[in-house]
Amino acid sequence: MASFPDLRPGPRSAKAGSGAVPWRRSPILLAVSAALLLTAFFAVSELATLRGAKAHDASAYLTRELGSPLSSASLVRTPARIHPALGGKLEIRGGGLKVTSGRDTLSLRFAGDAPWREYANGVGRKTAFGQETIAFGVNRVEQSLLVDRSQGTKVWRWQLASNLHPRIAGDGSVRFADSPLSILPVAVLDREGHDVTPAGLHWSLRRGTLELRLDDSRLPAPYVIDPVALVGACGPGTGDFAGCSVHVVSNKLNFTGSALVRPSSVSTGDLMVAQITLRNNDAIIVPPAGWTAIGNLRTSGLTLEQQLYYKFATVGDIAGTTYSWSWTTSADASGAIMAYSGVDATNPFDVTPTDNANAGSTATATGLTTTQNSDMVVAFYGAQGNVTETQDASQSLTQEYTALSGSMPASRARITGADGVQATPGATGNKTATVSASAQWVAHLVALAPTTSSDGSGTMTSSISNVSASQTGRTITFTYTAAAGGMLNGSVSVTVPGVLGGWSAPSTTGSNAGFTTASTGSVAVAGQTITVSNVTLAGGASMTITYGSTGSGGPGATATATTGAQAWQAAQKSHSGTPLTNLGSSPTITVYAADGTGTLTSNTSAVSASQTGKTITFTYTAAAGGISGGRITIDVAPSWTAPSVTSSNNGYTTASTGSVSVSSQKITVDNITLAGASSMTVTYGDTSGGGGGATVPSSTGGVVWQGQERSTGGGALANITSPTITVYAADGTGTMSAGTSNVSATQTGRTITFTYTAATGGIS
């Protein structure tokens, strides 16, 4: 189910919580992804609605479990990237399901004639008793019958066809000779997803028919009958199969005569992992050429040891290639090879495998902590003596094989292997297998990493996009986000632009201006380049690089004096052994004019004292480099009308760009963006809203209307060249006198001198 664990109990409950899996077992993906394994029966919330009038309304279920309805959809799938040369596929054909593995096939069809409706992940149709669905899983096709009301005693029948002879196995499954194809044991589930299979219920085979005789009188309605056709990688015992090879020897010095064989599905580049379990404690187990030990050789007691090996298949590993391990003292041994495709070729093991040993009836593979999405977790168990060893349920692993050597009972070697996908990084928890009798046991746990992202993948962003030239105390945080495949012990770098009058040099010294830290990995600097190595991130996960960190007492970085857009080139590599490759896109930080640059002028330099109705226009012109999201302020001279953003007030103030605010006598204009040499205006005493204009104070004299500017949002205000406005004497002030105070009538030739004396403050 897309958002629920596999609800069917027992061995099928192996993949709870798994996520989408970008890699596969060869040829069959053994890790069943809960995001892809559509179990074709109802989750709790859907089943709970299937009562009464809603019994036939399964639209919500169909949408969730089968995906969106489609006008057409491919009804042939390759199970989780099976190598297509094998012909392995899952199909919906002839009204039923068909599964193919190599030359082996089986098909299963329930009688019904209603038309199918196609969905992204399968098909569904109505029946007389409820619903029938067929859904594609990762390594299975699942046909489910939803029965929404009691049917009494009924024989349910499916047409069964195969090119192999079917048989009922001891565990209740239907097996087909030694093929990895099978039909899982019958399961009946209630509306809660619980197993309510009546005791003794089992499949029957009759003349090309799979039958189930069921009395549902004691079953809750609705319930689900759930046959599952499974493509496995291993057969029921020893032998050579599509995805594994399992062999045992008795009282031998090597596997000669029963050598392990390259699994038939393996292609060049696939990973083969071998488990060798030996009934003595030889100091040395000699592997075949090209095989490398992984993890520790682990012993248990005096006569049991286990070692794991791996090999990437080369062109020389042709079909039928055999591999034989040897040791120095004759003993029983059991060995297995499991093959996987899509494993990272550089770092196949996410973390170092764990190993454990003891005596008892529970073998415990010590848990580990994965770092990548969709790791394949593989548990290898070994035990001594004539015992069984069975992977415990509800641990997100599926048992793939088990085998026992054939010497005297006390001398035998038992091996068991199980695997499953862990969807997200984190602790796996211990994995356990039940040993049928107390015995010495040994266990390893391995996490295989999917192919990581290509070098130069992922994205990097910066906490800022602009800065003021020559600004000090800057801290910039770069966030790198890994691409879907993640990275394992890789590196991320970013280069500080090395321009004239450049940025502070990056440093690993805490007191330096360019002190640099990272949220993970190890920081090193060379010239202007910061490199963080030993970085492990799952796909979509992030890490940060902090340049100009002040956390250890440093002052923060100083920006370059050179203006303009500057790229901070970022590079990445997903592994330690490959070169750094530039990201497709790197952060760009634009350097604008320094704070406190540009000029401020006014349209008047002189006014009369106590004059009313004055409107003054200030013009700010940006310096080279311009400003972005910047701010200017203007201090209105004391005793002038207070500036205001209320249009009816006499001090109403507006601006040609940005947003105006006022506080006391200060005008602030924010969010100004101007290219170098461009201008904007601030109008104080604006009468456009009905205000009367500003009033000049009665006191005279020249006063600077101080302006300040910052070129970016993170800058600091600094004084700029600002205008001075001088208040002269009020209009109508001063005195005038005449040189004479009287004259004779009709007198001629008179000259009169008038003398004007300006009031305090003068006139201009």
Q: What is the DSSP string of 436-481?
A: EEEEEEEEEEEEEPBPPPPTT-SEEEES-SEEETT--SB-EEEEEE
Average pLDDT estimate for 348-376: 95
Q: Residue 373's pLDDT is what?
A: 85
In order of 193, 406, 656, 739, the CA distances from 398 in angstroms are: 20, 25, 71, 122
Q: Is the pLDDT of residue 635 over 70?
A: yes
Which is more confidently placed, 47 or 637? 637
Question: Cβ(705)–Cβ(724) under 8 Å?
Answer: yes
The C-alpha atoms of residue 125 and residue 140 are separated, in whole angstroms, by: 20
Q: What is the DSSP string of 493-509?
A: EEE----TT-PPPPBS-
Peptide bond preceding 222 in cis form (omega within 30 of 0): yes
Q: Is the pLDDT of residue 158 over 90?
A: no
In order of 161, 420, 574, 747, the CA distances from 487 in angstroms are: 46, 21, 4, 112
Q: Residue 36's pLDDT is what?
A: 24
Burial per residue of 706-738, b for 16 or more beta-carbon CB atoms within 10 angstroms, e otherwise: bbbbbbbbbbebeebebbebebbbbeebeeeee
Burial per residue of 578-589, b for 16 or more beta-carbon CB atoms within 10 angstroms, e otherwise: eebeebeebbeb
Q: Tell me the per-residue pLDDT of 29-75, one tens digit each, with 9 for 90 and over.
A: 222 222 222 222 222 222 222 223 333 333 444 454 566 666 655 55
The SS3 call for residue 61 is: helix
Q: Indicate the DSSP class of residue 316.
A: T
Three-class secondary structure assignment of 639-707: CCCCCECCCCCCCEEEECCCEEEEECCEEEEEEEEECCCCEEEEEECCCCCCCCCECCCCCCEEEECCE
Residue 409's pLDDT band (boundaries 50, 70, 90)? very high
Report the percent of the chain where pLDDT is more than 70.
Answer: 84
Q: Residue 353's pLDDT is what?
A: 98
Average pLDDT estimate for 456-462: 98
Average pLDDT estimate for 168-175: 86
Question: Tokens standing for 507?
Answer: 């440093």
Question: Cβ(61)–Cβ(41) under 8 Å?
Answer: no
Question: Cβ(188)–Cβ(220) under 8 Å?
Answer: no
Q: Residue 54's pLDDT is what?
A: 31
Q: Is the pLDDT of residue 461 over 60?
A: yes
Q: Tell me the per-residue pLDDT of 641-665, one tens digit each, with 9 for 90 and over.
A: 999 999 999 999 999 999 999 999 9
Residue 14's pLDDT band (boundaries 50, 70, 90)? very low
The C-alpha atoms of residue 627 and residue 639 are separated, in whole angstroms, by: 32
| Architecture per CATH, 459-592 | Sandwich (2.60)
Task: Point out which residues pair with 24 in neighbouring strands.
Answer: 341
Question: Cβ(463)–Cβ(476) under 8 Å?
Answer: yes
Average pLDDT estimate for 177-186: 78
- Greatest distance between any 2 Cα atoms in the chain: 160
Residue 424's pLDDT band (boundaries 50, 70, 90)? confident
Q: Is the pLDDT of residue 682 over 70?
A: yes
Average pLDDT estimate for 551-556: 97
Which is more confidently placed, 494 or 75? 494
Position of tokens 């940006």?
Answer: 622
Residue 540's pLDDT band (boundaries 50, 70, 90)? very high
The SS3 call for residue 362 is: strand
Q: Terminal CA-to-CA distance of the chain, rounded, Å?
A: 88
The C-alpha atoms of residue 398 and residue 34 are separated, in whole angstroms, by: 14
Q: Is the pLDDT of residue 451 over 90?
A: no
Residue 104's pLDDT band (boundaries 50, 70, 90)? confident
Q: Is the pLDDT of residue 578 over 70?
A: yes
Q: Residue 193's pLDDT is what?
A: 66
Tell me yes or no: is domain 599-728 CATH 3.30.70.
Answer: no
Residue 95's pLDDT band (boundaries 50, 70, 90)? low
Residue 392's pLDDT band (boundaries 50, 70, 90)? very high
Q: Residue 59's pLDDT is what?
A: 45
Average pLDDT estimate for 432-440: 98
Q: What is the mean pLDDT of the chain?
A: 85
The total of other beta-carbon atoms located within 10 Å of residue 266's CB is 28
Q: Is the pLDDT of residue 498 over 90?
A: no
All structural domains of the chain with their residue ranges: 58-231, 239-448, 459-592, 599-728
What amino acid is encoded at 505 in this protein? A
Average pLDDT estimate for 219-230: 79
* Stretch among 128-142, 492-506, 693-707 having the lowest mean pLDDT: 128-142
Average pLDDT estimate for 265-273: 87
Q: Do 459-592 and 599-728 have matching folds?
A: yes
Report the percent of the chain where pLDDT is more than 90.
Answer: 64
* Stretch among 29-33, 155-159, 432-436, 560-564 having the lowest mean pLDDT: 29-33
Three-class secondary structure assignment of 260-296: EECCCCCCCCCEEEEEEEECCCCCCCECCCCCEEEEE
Three-class secondary structure assignment of 214-250: EECCCCCCCEEECCEEEECCCCCCCEECCCEEEEEEE
The C-alpha atoms of residue 409 and residue 448 are separated, in whole angstroms, by: 34
* Stretch among 78-82, 156-160, 517-521, 758-762 having the lowest mean pLDDT: 78-82
